[in-house]
């Protein structure tokens, strides 16, 4: 299998800090500059009835389709949070065919809807499994979602299959990585290379380790947190990217 570049980004529904500016067009440019083969997106607006009328440049379709356009011809969306004006969730964009996709509800309660978006991709005749996640704000919710993630992977994905799990885990105390390593044999790409997890929040001065890229069946050649002047005006999260090679 060829080398892969993976990116993960919580795009904050296409708005800057405190929803001051609609920045989806600039955000799309930055994501494309990463030149990733597979992109994991969180807080993607699948549709919103009011934004189309409030912003002259708001896309008619979903945000993940607007970002993907002609660059990532294969994509999937998992609708998680539904409200009167629209809905948002997770998305995976891919340069490789998506053989199947499934979104699983892992909401810990009715006030904060969360999901696991699973895509099975075909790369050079081999299946690679990708999971895009966005865990809850409280520890007890994250622990419940962690168990749901582990159960899903054990039930739906072969133990020898290459696997990438990426997204916003809200795990600022790093309470989940040890369990994921022991039960799923997945490891964070930044920790594998440098012994530390990526600081990704807030994007203008990253302090907290909220976002992760976990892998199984790959080695890591390089990983990077993307922040600075070109990124600070966009989402409240920094983007992550990593270069992988199949073991």
At 199 the pLDDT is 97
Three-class SS of residue 35?
coil
Contacts (Cβ under 8 Å, ≥6 apart) of 70: none
Tell me 195's DSSP state.
S
At 151 the pLDDT is 98
Residue 202, preceding peptide bond in cis (omega within 30° of 0): yes
At 112 the pLDDT is 86
Structural domain count of the chain: 1
User: What CATH number corresponds to the domain at position 32?
Assistant: 3.60.10.10
Three-class SS of residue 65?
helix
| Rounded Cα–Cα distance for residues 138 and 136 (Å) | 6
Q: Which helix (H) or strand (E) holds 9?
A: strand 4-10
Q: Would you say 23 and 43 are in contact if contact means Cβ atoms under 8 Å apart?
A: no
| Rounded Cα–Cα distance for residues 18 and 57 (Å) | 19
What string of pLDDT tens digits covers the 247 residues of the chain?
A: 679 999 999 999 999 987 889 999 999 999 999 999 999 999 999 999 899 888 988 998 899 999 999 999 999 999 999 999 999 999 999 999 999 999 999 998 877 899 999 999 999 899 999 999 999 999 999 999 999 999 999 999 999 999 999 999 999 999 999 999 999 999 999 999 999 999 999 999 999 999 999 999 999 999 999 999 889 989 999 999 999 999 9
Contacts (Cβ under 8 Å, ≥6 apart) of 14: 22, 23, 24, 27, 45, 63
At 181 the pLDDT is 98
DSSP letters along 196-243, please? SPPP-BSTTS--B--EEEEEESEEEEEEEEE-SHHHHTS-SSPEEEEE
Three-class SS of residue 168?
strand
Q: Put residue 185 in one of left, alpha, beta given phi > 0 → left and psi -120 to 50 → alpha.
A: left
Query: Tokens 């800090």 belong to which residue?
Result: 17
**58: domain range?**
4-246
| Rounded Cα–Cα distance for residues 235 and 229 (Å) | 12
| Rounded Cα–Cα distance for residues 164 and 21 (Å) | 32
At 83 the pLDDT is 93
């Amino acid at each position: 299998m060829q080398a892969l570049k993976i990116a993960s980004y919580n795009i904050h529904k296409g708005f800057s800090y405190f929803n001051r500016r609609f920045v989806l067009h600039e955000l799309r440019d930055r994501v494309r500059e990463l030149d990733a083969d597979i992109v994991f997106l969180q807080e993607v607006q699948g549709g919103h009835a009011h934004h189309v009328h409030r912003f002259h440049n708001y896309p008619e379709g979903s945000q993940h389709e607007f970002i993907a356009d002609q660059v990532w011809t294969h994509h999937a969306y998992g609708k998680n949070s539904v409200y009167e004006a629209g809905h948002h969730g997770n998305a995976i964009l891919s340069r490789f065919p998506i053989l199947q996709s499934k979104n699983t509800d892992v909401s810990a309660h009715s006030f904060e809807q969360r999901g696991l978006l699973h895509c099975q991709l075909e790369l050079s005749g081999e299946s690679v499994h990708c999971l895009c996640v966005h865990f809850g704000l409280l520890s007890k919710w994250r622990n419940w979602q962690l168990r749901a993630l582990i159960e899903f992977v054990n039930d739906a994905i072969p133990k020898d299959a290459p696997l990438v799990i990426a997204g916003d885990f809200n795990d600022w105390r790093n309470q989940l990585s040890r369990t994921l390593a022991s039960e799923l044999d997945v490891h964070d790409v930044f920790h594998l290379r440098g012994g530390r997890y990526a600081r990704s929040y807030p994007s203008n001065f990253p302090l907290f380790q909220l976002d992760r890229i976990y892998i199984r069946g790959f080695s890591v050649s390089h990983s990077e947190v993307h922040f600075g002047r070109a990124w600070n005006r966009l989402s409240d999260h920094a983007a992550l990217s990593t270069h992988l090679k199949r073991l």
